[in-house]
Chains A and B, each alone.
Chain A
Amino acid sequence: MELFLNQLLAGLATGGIYAAIALAIVMIYQAIDHLNFAQGEMAMFSTFIAWQLLQWGVPYWATFFLTIAVSFVGGIAIERIVFKPLKNAPVLSHIVVFIALFSVFNSLAGFIWDYSIKSFPSPFGGLHQVGMIAVTLLLLVGLYVFFQYTRIGLAMRAAAANPESARLVGVRVGWMVALGWGMAAAIGAVAGMMIAPVVFLEPNMMLSILLYGFAGAVVGGLTSPGGAVVGGFSVGILENLAGTYVPYVGSELKLTIALVLIVAVLVVKPSGLFGRRAVVRV
């Protein structure tokens, strides 16, 4: 029983990591209707920027907000420079560009900061994982309020759902997409700064976390930020319990088991546990 509880708590803690990144994934999915495969690398890069600021002696909270601001601007810049000219290219070409961005960020981080691990401080001390979960939930609430109760949040939702109609009511759709990138980059930065104290900072730190984040986002349903958070936590817990309790194969095939379960969820419920399929009457 004690083992079970401990594994549950550990799963919750790693789940917090996945939830944070899943939230960023869902954010950008809402804004651009794609999964951004470079999301994790962008978050990693932001975290390195934070690390560099800390090395230069900038205090933690100043670094925290400065990094968010820099990432926000960076995300917008990426959309304006890389994706705006490609807005008429086929979807698959966009995915290739995500892959290209992935390579660029990974390689650049390794080049600038090299590949050995770096410890990253936590503002919450010994209670880091509790703090991380709290930050994730806070972000979620913040996003909910933003999307539900602000004009610009409404405009973003409209731009994502029906770009042409949105333009016809005067929403600057191009900028909404850019804003979505900016926000996703900023949320990624927060996720990165929360994750790095747990897994240590290095250029490849997001590789697998991104995958689990995707899994969490998909299980929860890509259209639901709340679902993404729940999904992230479930994947974390599931993975730990499978590794501990599935006899014989559990420890060796932990990842595989988790993935099989995810695919199973999808087969039963193709739009995720909390995802919505648009209801349309013609």
Chain B
Amino acid sequence: MRRTALLLAALAVALALPLFLKNFTLFQLTLVMVYAVAILGLNLLTGFNGQFSLGHSAFYAIGAYTAAILMDKFDLPYPLTLPAAGAACLVVGFLFGLPALRLEGLYLALATFALAVATPQILKFSAFEDLTGGVQGITILKPDAPFGLPLSQDQWLYYFTLAVSIVMFWAASNLVSSRTGRALMAIRDNPLAARSMGVDTALYKSLAFGVSALYTGVAGALGAIVIQFVAPDSFTFFLAVSFFVGLVVGGVGWIPGALFGGLFILFVPNWAEHISKGLAWAVYGIILILLIYIMPSGAAGFVRAVTAKLQRRAS
């Protein structure tokens, strides 16, 4: 009951924000949601299935390019590009998950990292240039609010992204508490036991990769629409590393953590730059270390500790 009330309150605040905030701030919050969905995808893989990835920028890029190409070359309306991007990434993720089955822990982290590093090079590859725009990338148009709604483009995109994010988060929490979710977690916690209980670990692990990629791909498509531009330089391995940082800072295996992660990777670098321009990334690094020092398990652990304390006091 309390949880529902909390969620409804949060939703009310989210819906009301555009009335008070500048377009620029809304744009930033839109990006936060985009990143949150991407991190959620990573969380489904790492947090709930125990597989590492330092390569999710690749799926984000595939989602973004799918959306951009469909809009630019085939004039597909932008809302339809999201399912297309998701489907494309589901397939690619699943296929990548197959060889990844053989790899564990660090080796998987490295294989995915390699994927992240190779992504910009593949996007630039001259044979695909007609489609991808090569090194120049693709510029796309920013959508106006439909049905003559009296909203600015930024306000409309904020609501659009909010709606998509809610659906994605809702689906994720349902997935996690379903039979499939339990199988995924059983694999994470004890692969041998899961197998002996009759869980097809290979299938589920590849599927986890696919679903995770789907989430990140949808985020990529949203990101492309919000930024209005895709180019190889937008999808370097720094992006993959950012997602990873967002995942850990938010809390591995905790769905709302993705939102914390999104806020962190968007705003903290800006604060760091505000504190010292020359040493911005040193400041960022130190903030990160201190944060891990204070909350070793990210926001998830922190929130759990606080609620536990409150409950203890209440009882």
Contacts and interface: CB of A to CB of B under 8 A. Distances in A.
A–B in direct contact per CB < 8 Å:
yes
Given A90-B252, A93-B298, A95-B248, A252 B110 contact: no
A103 B279 CA distance: 10
Question: What are the 9 A-B residue pairs with the smallest beta carbon separation, nearest first?
Answer: A89-B296, A103-B285, A104-B285, A107-B281, A100-B288, A107-B282, A100-B285, A259-B114, A103-B281
Interface string B278-299: 1111111110110011001110
B52 to A, nearest CB: 8
B241 interface: yes
Interface string B113-126: 11101100110111
Given A103-B285, A215-B114, A267-B103, 14 more contacts: A35-B106, A35-B109, A90-B252, A99-B285, A100-B285, A100-B288, A102-B285, A106-B281, A110-B278, A214-B113, A218-B110, A252-B121, A252-B124, A252-B125
Interface of B: 46, 99, 102-104, 106-107, 109-111, 113-115, 117-118, 121-122, 124-127, 241, 244-245, 247-249, 252, 278-286, 288-289, 292-293, 296-298
A256 B121 contact: yes
A58 interface: no
Contacts of A266: 102-103, 107, 110-111
Contacts of A102: 285
Interface in A78-111: 82, 85-86, 88-90, 92-93, 95-97, 99-104, 106-108, 110-111
Contacts of A86: 292-293, 296
Contact of B282 (A104, A211, A215): A104
A106 B282 CA distance: 8
Contact of A270 (B107, B126, B278): B107
A255 B121 CA distance: 8
Contacts of B99: 263, 267
A262 interface: yes
A122 B152 CA distance: 61
A99 B288 contact: yes
Nearest to B118: A256
Contacts of A101: 285, 289
Contacts of A222: 106
A152 interface: no
A88 B296 contact: yes
B279 A97 contact: no
B102 to A, nearest CB: 5
A92 B296 CA distance: 9
B107 to A, nearest CB: 5
Contacts of B127: 249
Q: Which of the listed residues A86, A103, A215 has the most CB atoms from chain B within 10 Å of its own CB?
A: A103
B281 A96 contact: no
Contacts of A108: 279, 282
